[in-house]
Every structure is written in C-alpha cells, then in structure tokens.
Amino acid sequence: MAKLSALFFDLDGVIIDTERDGHRIAFNEAFREFGIDAAWDVDYYHDLLQIGGGKERLRHFFDATRFERADYAADPEGFIKTLHRRKTEILIELIEGRKLPLRPGVERLMKECNAKGVFLGICTTSDEKAARSVVKNMLSTVEIDLLLAGDVVKRKKPDPEIYLLALERSKADPAAAFVVEDSSIGVRAAAAAGLRVVATVNGYTKDEDLGAADMVVDCLGDAPGSACLLRGKEGRAFSGLVGIATLEDYLNG
C-alpha cells in the first residue's frame, strides 16, 4: 500500500481566501496611492486570475487599457515592480492584522503531515514576502519543509515548472504525492507535473473547469462531515474530512 510522501499546498485561495478580499483590495489601494484611475471589481479580478502572477496581471491590464504615463513609458518593468512591491506591503499589513483567516482544515492537515513525517511544501506565485508573512503569522504552529514563491520560476502556473521544482527539491515520488489547489490554472499545473490533485473551491473558482483534479471539495474540513465532496472517484468513501488517509485511499485506487 502506497504511503503519502509529500503534500504541496498552493497559497492564495487554498491556505487563505486572499484573492477577493486580500490581493484585490491591496491592488486597488496601491492604484489609489499611485494616482492611477483604476479599481478592479470582483468579476474583473476573477478574469485576471486566469493569468498567473501579480506582476503579470498588472502588465496585462496596462497593455489592455493602453495605460499612458511618463514614468511608466520610461521604465514599464520598473514601474510595475515598484507598484507591485507597494501592493505586497499592503497585503502583508492585512495578513499581520489577522484580517484574512485560514481556510477550514488547512492547519489540521498540515499538522497531520508533520506528525506522520509527510514532506510539506507551499508552492505559490504570490510574492515571497507575502508568503513568508503567512507562514510566520498564520502557520507558526506548523513546520514547513519547502516554500517556493514569487519569481522562483520563470514560467508561472498553469505551467508545471513550480511543481517540477518542488519534486526536485523534495525528492518526492510524484506517484506518492498530492497537491492542494483551488483554481483551474493551479490544478492544470499540478496535473501536468504528474501529481494527484485535491481542489478546494472558493467563491472565485467553484465554477471553473477542475476536471483534471482527482477530488473536488468545498474545503478540507475541521471535523468529520464538515467538508462537502463535490466530485471524486466513484466508490470511494468520504467522511467529510480530507486527511492523509483520504489521500492515500486515492493513491491506492
């Protein structure tokens, strides 16, 4: 019987539901501070989430709106990096203020990995400073073995590069590893790396195409019966709680 050797978590929307009330709010506040006449609403930001990476979203937005300003025209990449840096600072303030709680079951499942010796990693396109702030402020009771964030890879999700790097660093067998993702681009990235995937949907991703996931739930659950199985392999028992035993059942199916 195969044992789970590694579990890799995405961050935004998986560990913390940061997208709508975290990143989006921080982007809009950064726009205000920089004197940019823009405000991303909930629906438009969901469209932008189909692009992996915050700086990449800014670049797309400025290209699509034909943004014109002297300091941007003089150094587009420098302007985007400066704006994104300020946005990250605002996001970190939200995280440190505990205004963005952990999603159900995240801390429980991570602690179970620690207790059973399962390699635990976080793989995100979120800025590294923001990711480290989440680990420091929200996951202080958990031992994280690997954190891959920001520009650690050249190609963002849905490209599998970040998960291939995680496999290389962890030396984990992809046949005995799982990823926790929430979005179509994340699920596709993990599947392309040869990994099994459990998708935990949120308000932004519940209607996305998650067909490449092995299992789709509304959350990981903090007690039996608290997680709803939306899609999974037929014939598999589900207690309403995603744990190591649940994932190993899928590995051995």
* Active-site residue flag, 75: no
Place of tokens 């989440």: 134
The one-letter amino acid at 169: R
C-alpha span between 104 and 97 (Å, rounded): 19
Q: How many CB atoms lie within 10 A of CB 112?
A: 17
Shortest CA distance to 122 belongs to which of 218, 216, 8, 7?
8
Q: E strand or H helix at 187, and its extent? A: helix 184-192
Instruction: Tell me which of 10, 17, 182, 214 is the catalytic residue.
Output: 10
DSSP per residue over 5-40, as a string? -EEEE--BTTTB-HIIIIIHHHHHHHHHHTT-----
Shortest CA distance to 118 belongs to which of 221, 247, 213, 239?
247
Q: Specify which residues 147 forms β-bridges with.
A: 122
Could you tell me if 180 and 102 are in contact, meaning their C-beta atoms sit under 8 angstroms apart?
Answer: no
* Active-site residue flag, 159: no
Shortest CA distance to 183 belongs to which of 194, 196, 166, 197?
197
- Both structure tokens of 41: 């609403």
Question: Catalytic residues, which ones?
Answer: 10, 12
